[in-house]
C-alpha cells in the first residue's frame, strides 16, 4: 500500500495538483524543501498542464481472481499508450465501495474514471458528479459508438431524455443453472436444454421438474433475495413491472401476468418446491447448495462459473428462464458501468482509457481465458470468450439471454435504496406466507412517490 508521500508524488505526476500545492504538501509531510525543489526541477516544473504525459487514476471493486486481470489490463494500456495510469481497487467483500466513492467525490479526490453499480449510477447523475458521454461516444475519439452496445443494458445510465452517463463494462445475464445429477436422481430424463431446443421450455415443464426434485428430498430451486430475481419470473411470462418503458410507476400489482407470476412464486415457496435464499442458514448460499448436489436449479450470471469449474465431479449446464411461449423471453441482466468524474482535469485521457476498457478489444482481453462475465458490446469475435472451452455446454444461451435481456429498470435505479426496500417489503410473503397481492400494493404505495422524485432530479 502506498504511503502519503507516494500518493502525493503520483498526484503531482498525474497533473491532479500543481507545483505550489505539491511543494506545500510535501513539506508538511516532512520532506525537506531542497529535496522537493530538486524533484520538481527534475520533473520539468508544474505537471498540472494536462499534457500528453499526464495520467489518470481509475478504480473499481474486485475479488482476488479479477484483480490480476485488471492490473494486467492497466499495464498493457500503459505500455501501448505510453502513459502511467494508476489502478486502485476496493475488495468486493467490502460493501462500502459506493460510500467511499461518494466520499472521495465530495472531497475532490475521486478517481478520474471508476465503476458504479446499476443501482447507484442515478445518484451520481442526479448530483451532477459524473460526465455526460453522448458527444464523446459519437466522436472520433471513441472506439465504439453507443449503438454498438446491447440496447437493453443501459438501465439508469441512460436518462429518459437519452443522455448517457456510463458505459456497461460487461454484463451478467441471469439464466437458470441446473445440476444434472440432482435432476437425474429425481428421475428427470429430458434435460431443460432439450426442451428449450424443442420450444417446450415452459413454466409448467419447470414446475414438474422441481416437484420431482422436492419429492426426492432435495431443493428444487433457490429464489435469490433480489428484486431482479423476482421480476425474471414475471417478464418471461409476458408481464410488466414498470410503465413508461421502465421509467415510470411500479405496476406489477395491476398487471395480470406479473401478479399471476408473483402468486405462482408464493405458491411454490409454500409447497417447498422453491426455497427463498433469505431463509437459508447464515453463510450458506445457493452456490454451495448447487456444488453440494443439494438443489436442482439456481439463477445466477456467469460469475459463479469459475467456482463451478473447479468443483470436483460437478455436472452442470445452463438454460434461459422458462417462458410462456417455450422459447426465450426477456430476463434481467446484472450490470456495472464505467463513468468519468466530472471534475477531472484530464477528460480526454479519462475517456481514452474508458473507451479502450469497454471496447471489443478491451472486453476480450478482460474476459478471455476464464472470465466471469459476458461482453456488453456486439462483437462476434469478443463473444467467443463466452463459448471457449464449451463450459458449460450451452454457454451460448448466456449470449442469447443478453441479447434480449434488460438491466435494472431506470425507475427503480433512480430512487435510492428502492431495490433493497422492495426486497424487504416482499420478505413477509416468502418467509411468513403473507398475502402477495397486499404486499405488492404496498410496494407501489411506497415506491411510486420516490420514483417520481428521483426522475425529476434527472435531465
The per-residue pLDDT for range 185-236, each reduced to its tens digit, is: 999 999 999 999 999 999 999 999 999 999 999 999 999 999 999 999 999 9
User: What value, to the nearest 5°, has the Cα angle with vertex 440 and ends 437 and 444?
Assistant: 140
Note whether residue 196 is domain-resident.
Answer: yes
- Residue 276 sits in a domain of what CATH number? 3.40.190.10
Note whether residue 273 is domain-resident.
Answer: yes
Tell me the C-alpha distance between 92 and 104, whole Å.
Answer: 18
Calculate the alpha carbon distances from 278 to 423, 424, 426 in Å.
10, 10, 11
Give the per-residue pLDDT at 191: 99
Given phi > 0 = left and psi -120 to 50 = alpha, else beta, which region is 368? beta
In a 10 Å sphere around its CB, with 0-12 CB exposed, 13-18 middle and 19+ buried, how is residue 162 labelled? exposed
Intra-chain end-to-end CA distance of the chain, in Å: 40
For residue 43, pLDDT over 80 is answered with: no
Tell me the C-alpha distance between 270 and 275, whole Å.
Answer: 9
Give the per-residue pLDDT at 57: 95
Number of domains in the chain: 2
Give the confidence band of 66 by pLDDT, cuts at 50, 70, 90.
confident
User: What value, to the nearest 5°, has the Cα angle with vertex 276 and ends 271 and 282?
Assistant: 130
Tell me: do 302 and 445 sit in the same domain: yes
Given 38, 53, 68, the domain boundary residue is 53
The 10 Å Cβ neighbour count of residue 308 is 20
For residue 167, pLDDT over 90 is answered with: yes
> By C-alpha distance, which of 302, 307, 263, 272 is closest to 288?
307
Question: Do 345 and 15 contact (CB within 8 A), yes or no?
Answer: yes
Tell me the C-alpha distance between 133 and 130, whole Å.
Answer: 9
Note whether residue 366 is domain-resident.
Answer: no
Cis peptide preceding 392, ω within 30 of 0: yes
Tell me the C-alpha distance between 87 and 58, whole Å.
Answer: 5
Cell readout for 241 is 413491472
Tell me the C-alpha distance between 459 and 454, whole Å.
Answer: 11
Element (H, E) at 288: helix 286-291
Spatial CB neighbours of 171, under 8 Å, sequence gap ≥ 6:
150, 153, 301, 333, 334, 335, 373, 374, 375, 376, 402, 405, 407
Given 37, 53, 69, the domain boundary residue is 53
Question: Do 243 and 336 contact (CB within 8 A), yes or no?
Answer: no
Calculate the alpha carbon distances from 413 to 121, 243, 418 in Å.
8, 14, 7
Question: Do 56 and 346 contact (CB within 8 A), yes or no?
Answer: yes
Question: Do 178 and 297 contact (CB within 8 A), yes or no?
Answer: yes
In the numeric block, the cell 425507475 is attached to 411
Note whether residue 272 is domain-resident.
Answer: yes
In the chain, the percentage of residues whose pLDDT exceeds 70 is 88
Tell me the C-alpha distance between 144 and 271, whole Å.
Answer: 49
Give the confidence band of 19 by pLDDT, cuts at 50, 70, 90.
low
Note whether residue 302 is domain-resident.
Answer: yes
Element (H, E) at 179: strand 175-179
Tell me: do 297 and 438 sit in the same domain: yes
Tell me: do 286 and 430 sit in the same domain: yes
Tell me the C-alpha distance between 459 and 162, whole Å.
Answer: 9
Cell readout for 199 is 420450444
Given 53, 75, 91, the domain boundary residue is 53
Note whether residue 243 is domain-resident.
Answer: yes
Tell me: do 45 and 179 sit in the same domain: no
Which residues span the domain enclosing 273? Answer: 175-331+414-456
- Tell me what the mean pLDDT of segment 20-42 comes to: 58
pTM of the model: 0.88
Note whether residue 75 is domain-resident.
Answer: no
For residue 35, pLDDT over 60 is answered with: no
CA 110, distance to chain mean position in Å, is: 21
Tell me the C-alpha distance between 166 and 169, whole Å.
Answer: 9
Tell me the C-alpha distance between 436 and 260, whole Å.
Answer: 10
Spatial CB neighbours of 251, under 8 Å, sequence gap ≥ 6:
240, 241, 242, 243, 258, 444
User: What value, to the nearest 5°, has the Cα angle with vertex 294 and ends 293 and 298?
Assistant: 90
Tell me: do 180 and 44 sit in the same domain: no
Tell me: do 49 and 196 sit in the same domain: no
In the numeric block, the cell 516544473 is attached to 45
Give the per-residue pLDDT at 217: 98
- Tell me what the mean pLDDT of segment 132-140 comes to: 98
Greatest extent of the chain over all pairs of C-alpha atoms, in Å: 80
Q: Express each pLDDT in 349-407 by its tens digit.
A: 999 999 999 999 999 999 998 789 999 999 999 999 999 989 999 999 999 999 999 99
User: What value, to the nearest 5°, has the Cα angle with vertex 285 and ends 283 and 287?
Assistant: 135
Question: Do 167 and 149 contact (CB within 8 A), yes or no?
Answer: yes
Tell me the C-alpha distance between 391 and 314, whole Å.
Answer: 12
Note whether residue 149 is domain-resident.
Answer: no
For residue 320, pLDDT over 50 is answered with: yes
Cell readout for 79 is 505500455
Amino acid at each position: 500500500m502506498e504511503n502519503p508521500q507516494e500518493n502525493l508524488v503520483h498526484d503531482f505526476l498525474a497533473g491532479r495538483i500543481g507545483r505550489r500545492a505539491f511543494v506545500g504538501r510535501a513539506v508538511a509531510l516532512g520532506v525537506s524543501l531542497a529535496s522537493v525543489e530538486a524533484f520538481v526541477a527534475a520533473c520539468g516544473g508544474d505537471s498540472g498542464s494536462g499534457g500528453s504525459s499526464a495520467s489518470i487514476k481509475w478504480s473499481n471493486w474486485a475479488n482476488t481472481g479479477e484483480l490480476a486481470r485488471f492490473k494486467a489490463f492497466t499495464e498493457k494500456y500503459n505500455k501501448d499508450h505510453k502513459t502511467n495510469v494508476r489502478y486502485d481497487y476496493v475488495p468486493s467483500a467490502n460493501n462500502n465501495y459506493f460510500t467511499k466513492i461518494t466520499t472521495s467525490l465530495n472531497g475532490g479526490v475521486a478517481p478520474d474514471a471508476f465503476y458504479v453499480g446499476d443501482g447507484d449510477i442515478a445518484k451520481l447523475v442526479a448530483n451532477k458528479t459524473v460526465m455526460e458521454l453522448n458527444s464523446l461516444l459519437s466522436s472520433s475519439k471513441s472506439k465504439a459508438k453507443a449503438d454498438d452496445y446491447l440496447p437493453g443494458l443501459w438501465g439508469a445510465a441512460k436518462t429518459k431524455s437519452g443522455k448517457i452517463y456510463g458505459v456497461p463494462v460487461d454484463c451478467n445475464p441471469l439464466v437458470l443453472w441446473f445440476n444434472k445429477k440432482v435432476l437425474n436422481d429425481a428421475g428427470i430424463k429430458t434435460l431443460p436444454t432439450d426442451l428449450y431446443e424443442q420450444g417446450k421450455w415452459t413454466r409448467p415443464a419447470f414446475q414438474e421438474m422441481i416437484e420431482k426434485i422436492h419429492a426426492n428430498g432435495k431443493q428444487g430451486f433457490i429464489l435469490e433475495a433480489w428484486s431482479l430475481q423476482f421480476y425474471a419470473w414475471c417478464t418471461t411470462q409476458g408481464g410488466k413491472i414498470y410503465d413508461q418503458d421502465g421509467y415510470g410507476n411500479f405496476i406489477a400489482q395491476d398487471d395480470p401476468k406479473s401478479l399471476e407470476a408473483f402468486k405462482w412464486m408464493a405458491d411454490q415457496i409454500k409447497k417447498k418446491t422453491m426455497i427463498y435464499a433469505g431463509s437459508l442458514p447464515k453463510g450458506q448460499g445457493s452456490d454451495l447448495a448447487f456444488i453440494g448436489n443439494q438443489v436442482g436449479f439456481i439463477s445466477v450470471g456467469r460469475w459463479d462459473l469459475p467456482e463451478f469449474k473447479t468443483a470436483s465431479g460437478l455436472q452442470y449446464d445452463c438454460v434461459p428462464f422458462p417462458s410462456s411461449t417455450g422459447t426465450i423471453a426477456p430476463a434481467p441482466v446484472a450490470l456495472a458501468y464505467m463513468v468519468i468524474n466530472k471534475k477531472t482535469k484530464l477528460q480526454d485521457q479519462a475517456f481514452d482509457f474508458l473507451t479502450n476498457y469497454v471496447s471489443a478489444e478491451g472486453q476480450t482481453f478482460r474476459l478471455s481465458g476464464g472470465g466471469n462475465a459476458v461482453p456488453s458490446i456486439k462483437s462476434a469475435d469478443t463473444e467467443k470468450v463466452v463459448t471457449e472451452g464449451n463450459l458449460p455446454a450451452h454457454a451460448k444461451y448466456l449470449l442469447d439471454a443478453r441479447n434480449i435481456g434488460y438491466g435494472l429498470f431506470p425507475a427503480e435505479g433512480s430512487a435510492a435504496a428502492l431495490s433493497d426496500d422492495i426486497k424487504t417489503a416482499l420478505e413477509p410473503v416468502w418467509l411468513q406466507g403473507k398475502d402477495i397481492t397486499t404486499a405488492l400494493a404496498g410496494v407501489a404505495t411506497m415506491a411510486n412517490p420516490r420514483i417520481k422524485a428521483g426522475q425529476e432530479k434527472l435531465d
